[in-house]
Structure 1
Amino acid sequence: MERWLLLFFIGACCALLLEQVPALYYLLLLALSCFCVAILTCFYKKLLPVLAWLFGFAYILFAASAHFSWSDNNKLDAKTLHLSELLIQGTVQTLIVGGNEDLRFNVEIQSINSQLLKQPFGARITFKQANIVLSQGDIVQLLVKVKPAHGFANQGSFSYQKWLLQNHLVVTGYVKKSSLNMVLEKSTSVRQALYNQLNKNLKQTLKPLILALSLGDKSQIDNPMWQVLQTTGTQHLMAISGLHLGLIAGFGFTLAKLIIWLLPKPLLSQRYLYLYPMIVSLVFACIYSYLAGFSMPTIRALIMLLWFYGLRIFCIKVTIIKWLLLSLCTIILIDPFAIFDASLYLSFSAVLVILFSFWRWGYLFVNRPKWQKMFLSLLLLQIAISLLLMPLTLLLFNKVSIVAPLANIIVVPWLSFTAIPTILIATLTLPIMPSLALWLFDIANYCLELGMDYLSWLAAFEYSTVSFSTPVLVIICLTPLTIFLQTLRLIHPKWVFISLLPTLVSIIGVEIGVQYWQKSNKYWLMTIFDVGHGVAVLIERNGEAILYDTGAAYPSGFNFVEAVIKPYLLTNRIDKIDLAIISHRDNDHAGGLPFLQKYNLVKSFSVNFSDLENNIPCTAGKFINWQGLTLKVLSPNNKVGTHNDESCVIEITDGKYKVLLPGDISNKVELQLLHNELLSKVDVLLAPHHGSKSSSSFSFVQFVQPKYVLYSSGFLNRWDMPVKEVVERYQQISAIELNTSIVGMVQFTFTKQGITYKTYRDNLLPFWPWQ
């Protein structure tokens, strides 16, 4: 049975590797194939593994097809949905946090423009300066503008589109100011009522952590606090997951056993006595899962708990591996898109590591005092998880916390037996006995403060985390492999080290050789990031980089330097940018400048609208020689940089190929550059002003004759850029057109042999979950 379950999971994973979800006709053929194989297995049992794989493969694709058919089933045109305002009615699905500030919440839409939908669907909605009071559970009417779910597609950064898919959200949008916005039916959930009460009454210094541990609301945890948690590898403590649910379930089980022991025997049926602790344990786990909003980690833990208790009740003995596989396949059957969740693989891998560690080294605890057993178990647990999960952690997060074992071995047991149960008891007590609850919250806050002080001390170490590099990757992958081989005793320890040492040395040698080759090679790269309606371009050569514009920044604190550019630099091992050129003051070009300055990511700047240290004014006639490339400033003539036409226009050449980055200049400046004979034919052009109708004049396009033209524009943006007329002008010269809102990040490689390019959606991740 284990093999069938494993093949079902493998089949489900294989379904993610298709470029697109097949049409319904092909899915029906797939279903017919499953049926035929199922019939054949009645006569030929060896086909059962094939059926298991095929069922997993088909199940994911059918779920995806049902998800993406929301517009067809409701007779809506997804391509034109964004063109008009819609009056929707639906139920608020998530906690409402933030008062009357900018709200972000999920709504299940049940009707549009008074027409009931055949297939209600989920939407992610933003409500700026909300004029009505919303709560989770309310049935609302809102005037909105929406568009199909879409996310920025860049290497190394968070995939918002995958997050929307995981949460079954098919559109995103915002609420328009209108008198039509109203709550049709007030139905505040218990969870929302508890949140409102907590948010009002809590005055503790670590209120954000208390809200995270009680109701799963992490929105109030600020960046410095997250930085401490990430650096010490303890961010999992603030996301209600299997660890928390296991503790609460164990607490409920122990409490029930204690009550049974205290009560007189005649009061309870002895026949079903063994069931009571399990029932109480499940009740406690379900309550805590509800408080956490039934997030996927809590649902996973609940399913594992249900399988564990269910098998015990029916006296069915199964191996631990079979129990895990049963839980895993049940999770996918209940929610197919849980397969995208990185925490799924982390949690199951952690369970396997724990079981393997105690199976292999459990003999060390035999015949020892209880306090020694507990201490050694915690020590073994943290060392095993830290070492054996390092490759997976590095793959998912591009860095590994060196201090994580020291952090977790102290903080996990400390919070598990102090803050976490205290917070749960206080939360449940709050509606009944507020004074007692607040006193308990004070105790929990004190426990959290002790834990955070210790974590802050650890995070202050200079080398608390190790970022990605090939030697580090090799060491991190070989370490668990070495431990695994030694524990199984398949090879003598001496031969393990003898074989691994030269392997490590040779790989490090190859890495040094590759770095030398890169520095001596003549090729260079240009990456145009997908930053919506904005511009961010990175030029790379010999392991160094120049940045042209930063993309936008928003009042919420989100900026594209932190979200997109910095992760890319980390992934590609670029420590610092040599030069940042900011074309002009507009937010969509200069929004990330404060972040660059704050974190000292740039050695020098070229900015016309601000006096900065190490600033090279970006004015016409300037030449910058960098890594064998020549950067020539064509415009503006004056140091202003305030308006679009004062954008810093840069021509980049290696002597053979030319790239033109014109910022947001209009037809007027294009004609001036043509008149002054400053332009020439280019190979790659970033379309001026995102392809607006006021730019890319006919004479400009005909003169520069780019082979490739790029539009850095927002998905279904309100200005409809690039406009049809501009697109047609570039089509007339047979230029290859690439739009970041469609293909995602674009990367050009310039070599002696020619110019090649690859895009995120077509080359780097050409699979349907990211399309």
Structure 2
Amino acid sequence: MRTGMFALALGLLALRFLPALPSVGWLLVLPVVALMMLPFRTYPLAFFLLGLGWACLSAQWALDDRLASELDGQTRWVEGRVTGLTQHTEGVVRFELSDGRSRKAKLPKRIRLTWHGGPPVQGGERWRLAVTLKRPSGLLNFHGFDQQAWLLTRRVGATGSVKDGQRLAPARHAWRDSIRQQLLAVDAQGREAGLAALVLGDGSGLLREDWRILQDTGTVHLLVISGQHIGLLSGLIYALVAGLARYGAWPRRIPWLPWACGLAFAAALAYGLLAGFEVPVQRACVMVGLVLLWRLRFRHLGIWWPLLLALNAVLVMEPLASLQPGFWLSFAAVAVLVLAFSGRLGPWRVWHAWTRAQWLIAIGLFPLILVLGLPVSLSAPLANLFAVPWISVVVLPLAVLGTLLLAVPVLGSGLLWLAGGALNGLFTALGVLAGQLPAWIPAEMPFGFWLLSLIGALLLLMPTGIPFRLLGWPLLLLAVFVPGEDIPRGQVEVVQLDVGQGLAIVLRTRHHTLLYDAGPRLGDFDLGARVVLPSLRKWGVTQLDLMVLSHADADHAGGAAAVARGLPVKRVVGGETVGLALFLQAQPCASGEQWEWDGVTFQLWQWSDAVSGNQKSCVLQVQASGKRLLLTGDIDHQAERALLSTPLAVGTDWLQAPHHGSRSSSSWPFLQRLAPAAVLISRGHGNGFGHPHPRVLERYHQVGSAIYDSAEQGAVRFRLGTDDPPVTARSQRRFWRPPVIGRYQKQQPAT
């Protein structure tokens, strides 16, 4: 039976790695074949097929519930009820609408909405809203957060921006929102938002600096409700009953063990309901329930049995959970502890067990964090060493008890004041640690190096005395000293990042790195910090030799400050120096300036008679082994006409579409002269400017240009100076982001 359960788990987990889902016919055939195989010795394969079939069927239901293509971009009146907790950040309200209805249109069951400058919205209210609807999408880069996968795991079938709306009915059963308002209203020594995150799982009120500290110290799991909180609370209840029984304070007529397990599970469920019972909380409750059941009745089966059952139970309940990094990290952490502690011949002292547990988790999760592309916290073992008991023994009990006693004057608010002070002290200590050891973003790693680091981690998790165990250290550290990518002389690697309605292009020669524009920033949404900087670090870039900011518009230069804070920048050149951050100390763009890096030639140009900011864009031409790339910023027809009288107006292999492909740019004479083999378009999906304009696209087709659009293909990477075809982020097939079939489908790679 254990073999069957293991095969079932493999089938459920296989969904994560499928490039495409099987057809409906195969989904109907799989369970039939599996049931026919069950009575025979091939039953493990039958369980595998059952798991795979159920996972694929559940994923297909989620994909079928997405917004219809013909409704994408339309503005409609939608009526529905607000679910969950709403988020209010710098004048922006974000919330989810369930069971939305619209005339003559079928809508997904769940829609995620954004309302700029909207009124207060509370969970449980019913609204009628004018919404511009969009199919689930997101920025798609070679590294980083996959928003499409995240939306799918939440079974969000559409997103949208609210233009107007009216409240139809007040909130009903919005007790979580009511508790949040009370928590935010008490005096918790400035940590009211932190207590709301700890008690309700609502992290929307945390500051960016708070998130940075938590990420740098590897303690995010301690503040926003996770499986650890559920386990801690149920463990405290279990320990309380066990302690009373041990010291004779528990009634002898009542068996303490069933009551300890029952009360602990009840506490887990109650805390889970308080947290909204999302998928991570469901996962934690299932794990706690199975562990308690194992403790009560099935200890003779071993500790791996409840872990395997919990894994299957979670995935059967929600097969899409395997798309979440938290799923892999939580189960892997438990597996690491089980592996490490079950292999010991003798017990450790409490302090030794606790300190070693932190280091073992850090070592065991290291290869998994690498493959998931997450930042590595170097200070996590030390931070969790004191943060976990502090949250478990001090902050969490005070916060939960204070929340339960809010109706009691002074007592509830007093406990929350103490909890806030304890949390503030923890943040102070974590802030000092984060300042000394910030999170490390490892460089891209070949599969062979990752496999060796995995073997090293497994060796270090083995008990003392295992042969060659100490070889785990050099194998593990191979991940730290990964050799950088070797770019031959005379070539330059070019990556147009997907930063939505903005521009950011990275150019790397053998020994130098240049950044052309740094992505947009809108309020607290800074793509320089979220996309550009992590990508540079992922490629092993330790400093920028030059940052060229075409002009000062926020969609081109908004992320520059974040990049400059995260990496040393030797020199900054701007088409406009007014309007840029003062500490950037940008130099004006000097037309005709030319230099060479590693056999690659660079040349700047700016129209001397420019009036507007777009016209002042600093243009950069790159030549590598006879191939040319022209980066144009936001120049318009007039600037293009002026450029035609310069040496830059020659045949070009790659052209960055001026002004995101707007109607005011990419004039016919300009394209005729350059005759670009390929065009890069950087723009946001469904942007309100209508970029790229259909007439501009038609001109590109007329000159025979292949078109690479970030909104449809994501980030684009190619080597200038070679005939190698470019690679797009969407070419990495995943079932939740099928290939786009549309106006660019027939394009051919540039040569």
What is the TM-score of this pair, normalised by structure 2? 0.90
Match of 1:67 in 2: 62
What residue in structure 2 maps to residue 459 of structure 1?
434
1:135 aligns with 2:154: no
Q: Structure 1's 8 and 647: CA in aligned 2 closer, same or farther, altered over 3 A?
A: same
- 1:88 alignment partner, SS class: strand
Q: Residue 433 of structure 1: SS of its match in structure 2?
A: coil
Q: Does 1:536 align with 2:512?
A: no
Find the counterpart in structure 1 of residue 17 from structure 2. 17
The answer to whether the 8 Å contact 2:454/2:476 transfers is no
Aligned equivalents of 1:165, 1:120: Cα separation in 2: 12
SS at match of 2:532: helix
Give, in angstroms, the shift of residue 383 of structure 1: 2.2
Tell me what 2:539 maps to. Answer: 572
**CA drift at 1:111:** 0.8
Change (3 A) 1:509 1:610: closer
Moved more, 336-345 or 254-263: 254-263
Q: Report the Cα distance in structure 2 between the residues aligned to 1:445 and 1:362, rounded to whole angstroms.
A: 42
Equivalence for 2:744: none
Kindly report which structure 2 residues correspond to 1:63-142, keeping only aligned pairs within 5 A, or say none: 63-70=58-65, 77-83=68-74, 85-98=75-88, 101-113=91-103, 117=106, 120-131=108-119, 133-142=120-129
* CA apart distance, 1:355: 1.4
CA distance in 2, matches of 1:685, 1:116: 41
1:624: how far off? 3.5
Secondary structure of the corresponding residue to residue 570 of structure 2? strand
Change (3 A) 1:510 1:348: closer
CA distance in 2, matches of 1:30, 1:746: 34
In structure 2, C-alpha distance between the alignment counterparts of 1:384 and 1:427, rounded to whole Å: 35
After superposing the two structures, state which structure 1 stretch, 588-597 or 148-157, moved more: 588-597
Partner residue, 1:326: 309
Specify which of 596, 602, 606 is matched with residue 573 of structure 2: 606
Query: Percent identity over the alignment?
Result: 27
- The whole-number CA distance in structure 2 between the counterparts of 1:253 and 1:527 is 54
Which of 608, 629, 636 in structure 2 is aligned with 1:666? 636
Match of 2:365 among 375, 389, 393: 389
**Could you say which structure has the higher helix fraction?**
1
Question: Secondary structure at the residue paired with 2:718?
Answer: strand
Change (3 A) 1:308 1:205: same
What is the RMSD computed on CA atoms of the aligned residues?
Answer: 3.0
1:516-546 deviation per Cα after TM superposition (whole angstroms, max 9, x unaligned): xx26543321100111121111111114311
Q: 2:421 aligns with which of 416, 426, 446?
A: 446
- Distance verdict in 2 for CA 1:28–1:477, change over 3 Å: closer
Tell me the SS of whatever aligns to 2:86: coil
Structure 2 CA distance for aligned equivalents of residues 583 and 568 of structure 1: 20
Residue 725 of structure 1 pairs with residue 700 of structure 2 = no
Alignment of 1:210-359 (within 5 A): 210-256=195-241, 270=254, 274-310=257-293, 317-359=300-342
Q: How does 1:297-696 map to 2 (within 5 A)?
A: 297-310=280-293, 317-361=300-344, 363-365=346-348, 373-430=349-406, 432-461=407-436, 467-468=442-443, 477=454, 479-484=456-461, 487=464, 489=466, 491=467, 493=468, 518=486, 521-555=489-523, 557-610=524-577, 615-637=586-608, 642-675=612-645, 678-696=648-666
User: Shift of residue 311 of structure 1?
Assistant: 5.0
3-state SS, counterpart of residue 183 of structure 1? strand
Measured in 2, the distance between the counterparts of 1:442 and 1:685 equals 59
User: 1:467 offset after TM fit, Å?
Assistant: 4.2
Q: Helix, strand or coil for the counterpart of 1:53?
A: helix
Query: Would you say 1:768 and 2:730 are equivalent positions?
Result: no
Deviations 1:123-143 (A, max 9, x none): 111112223x42112222211
Decide whether the 8 Å contact of 1:667 with 1:695 is kept in 2.
yes
Instruction: Work out the CA distance in 2 between the residues paired with 1:504 and 1:377.
Output: 22
Q: Which residue of 2 aligns with 1:368?
A: none
Per the alignment, in what secondary structure is the counterpart of residue 82 of structure 1? coil
Query: Which amino acid in structure 2 is aligned with residue 405 of structure 1?
Result: P
Counterpart of 1:175 (choices 162, 169, 185) is 162
Give secondary structure in 2 for the equivalent of 1:161. Answer: helix
CA–CA distance in 1 between the matches of 2:508 and 2:272?
47
Structure 1 residues 23-67: Cα deviation after superposition (integer angstroms, max 9, x where no partner): xxx22233224303312433xx22211112212222222112211
Alpha-carbon contact 1:110-1:116 (below 8 Å) kept = no
Distance 2:5 2:361 in 1: 25
After TM superposition, give the deviation of residue 642 of structure 1 in Å.
4.5
1:351 counterpart SS class: helix
**1:155 equivalent among 138, 142, 151:** 142
Deviations 1:446-468 (Å, cap 9, x if unpaired)?
32233333323333335885844
Q: Which residue of 1 aligns with 2:743?
A: none
Letter aligned with residue 31 of structure 1: L
**Structure 1, residues 182-231: CA drift from partner, whole Å, max 9, x if none?**
13343151111100111112341322322211111112222322222222
Contact 1:583–1:589 (CA under 8 A) maintained in structure 2: yes
1:176 shift after superposition? 0.7
C-alpha change, 1:543 and 1:486, in structure 2 (3 Å) is farther
Q: Which amino acid aligns with 1:482?
A: L
1:523 alignment partner AA:
Q
* One-letter amino acid of the counterpart of residue 32, structure 1: V
Of residues 460-469 and 380-389 in structure 1, the stretch that sits farther from structure 2 once superposed is 460-469
Secondary structure at 1:104's aligned position in 2? strand
Decide whether aligned partners of structure 1 residues 87 and 767 sit closer, same or farther in structure 2, where only a CA change above 3 A counts.
same
Task: Give 5+ residue unaligned stretches, structure 2.
Answer: 739-751
Partner of 2:31: 34
Which of 43, 49, 61 does residue 44 from structure 2 map onto? 49
Does the residue aligned with 1:768 lie in a helix, a strand or coil? coil
Q: Work out the CA distance in 2 between the residues paired with 1:18 and 1:473.
A: 21
Residue of structure 1 equivalent to 2:677: 707
Once the two structures are TM-superposed, the CA of residue 547 in structure 1 deviates from its matched residue by: 0.8
2:502–2:555 CA contact under 8 A, matched in 1: yes
Deviations 1:709-734 (A, max 9, x none): 12112112223322222222221222
Rounded to whole Å, the distance in 1 between the matches of 2:373 and 2:526 is: 19
What is the one-letter code of the residue matched to 2:573? Answer: S
- 2:140–2:729 contact (8 Å) kept in structure 1: yes
Q: TM-score, normalised by structure 1?
A: 0.88
Q: Does the Cα contact within 8 Å between 2:218 and 2:380 map onto a contact in 1?
A: yes
Q: Which stretch shifts more, 386-395 or 186-195?
A: 386-395
How far has the Cα of 1:395 moved from its partner?
3.1
What residue identity is the alignment partner of 1:134? V
Alignment-mate amino acid for residue 524 of structure 1: V
Which range is displaced more, 462-471 or 180-189? 462-471
Matched residue of 2:84: which SS?
A: coil
Contact 1:141 1:184 (C-alpha < 8 Å) held by counterparts = no
Report if aligned partners of 2:455, 2:475 keep a CA contact under 8 Å in 1.
Answer: no
Q: CA deviation at 1:116?
A: 8.3
The secondary structure found in structure 2 opposite 1:407 is helix
Q: Which runs of 5+ in 1 are unaligned?
A: 366-372
Q: Which secondary structure state, in structure 2, belongs to the residue aligned with residue 726 of structure 1?
A: helix
Name whichever of 276-285 and 307-316 sits farther off. 307-316
**591-600 or 228-237, which deviates more:** 591-600
Q: Distance in 2 between matches of 1:465 and 1:116?
A: 47
User: Which deviates more from structure 2 when the two are superposed, residues 730-739 or residues 466-475?
Assistant: 466-475
Question: Offset of 1:419 from its aligned partner?
Answer: 0.8
Q: Deviations over 1:73-107 (max 9, x none)?
A: xxx74244313x21111121121243993111111
Q: Which amino acid aligns with 1:233?
A: G
Instruction: Say whether the 8 Å CA contact 2:98–2:109 is kept in structure 1.
Output: yes
| Corresponding residue SS for 2:629 | strand
Letter in 1 for 2:35: A
| Structure 2 counterpart of 1:41, one-letter code | L
Residues 672-699 of structure 1 deviation map (CA, whole Å, 9 limit, x = unaligned): 3225564111000111111122222222
Q: Which amino acid aligns with 1:635?
A: Q
Letter in 2 for 1:446: G
Comparing 342-351 with 27-36, greater Cα deviation is found at 27-36
Distance in 2, matches of 1:500 and 1:382, equals 17
